Amino acid sequence: MYAGGRPNRLARWLNDVSAWQYRHGILTLGGRGVTLEVRGRASGRAVEFPLVLVRLGGQRYVVSMLGAEAQWVRNLRADEGRAVLRAPHPEPVRLVEVPVEQRAPILRRYLDLAPGARPHVSVDRRAPLAEFEKIAADYPVLRVESA
């Protein structure tokens, strides 16, 4: 559903439905389902999409299951990490990239929480942490900080 790192028509529709549900506090997966809003780097308009929020060690994180070339990651980088997290209430946030050497445990927890991401990540969710360390550079992990 994400050939070339972009959602096809079905994935866009499913993302829209999930984003609407999360934004309205419906079926939020126990607080894991959130909607992230970023500004398009070319259009300047707000773009919303659903993500899974990872809580670990007292911090909140989001992960790009499609890697660094995902459009939302590129938009976020162009806007210096500024975004709005809706869980379900809007919260202006800044997303800060986690250093590669710190990503492995977050990626493992992410795969536990986000079954839809598992086909996009090349490591099994039950793999040893060392396997996650090998792929950590391929998947941006961003810490959520209040703006």
> pLDDT tens digits for 46-86?
988 889 999 999 999 999 998 998 899 999 999 999 999 98
State how far the Cα of 78 lies from the Cα of 82, in Å rounded to an integer.
Answer: 9
pLDDT classification of 132: cutoffs 50, 70, 90: very high
In the predicted model, is pLDDT for residue 2 greater than 70? no
Mean pLDDT: which of 11-25, 31-45, 53-67 is highest?
A: 53-67
Query: Residue 54 in 3-state DSSP?
Result: strand
Q: Which of 69, 68, 67, 75 is nearest to 49 (CA)?
A: 75
Please report the pLDDT score of residue 49 as a whole number.
Answer: 84
| Residue 83: per-residue pLDDT | 97
Nearest to 112 by CA among 63, 146, 77: 63
Output the pTM of the full model: 0.84
Compute the radius of gyration of the chain from its Cα atoms: 14
3-146 maps to CATH 2.30.110.10? yes
Percent of the chain with pLDDT over 70: 82
More confident residue, 45 or 86: 45
Does position 29 have pLDDT exceeding 60, yes or no? Answer: no
What is the spatial distance between Cα 43 and Cα 56, in angstroms, rounded to a whole number?
34
SS3 assignment, position 62: strand
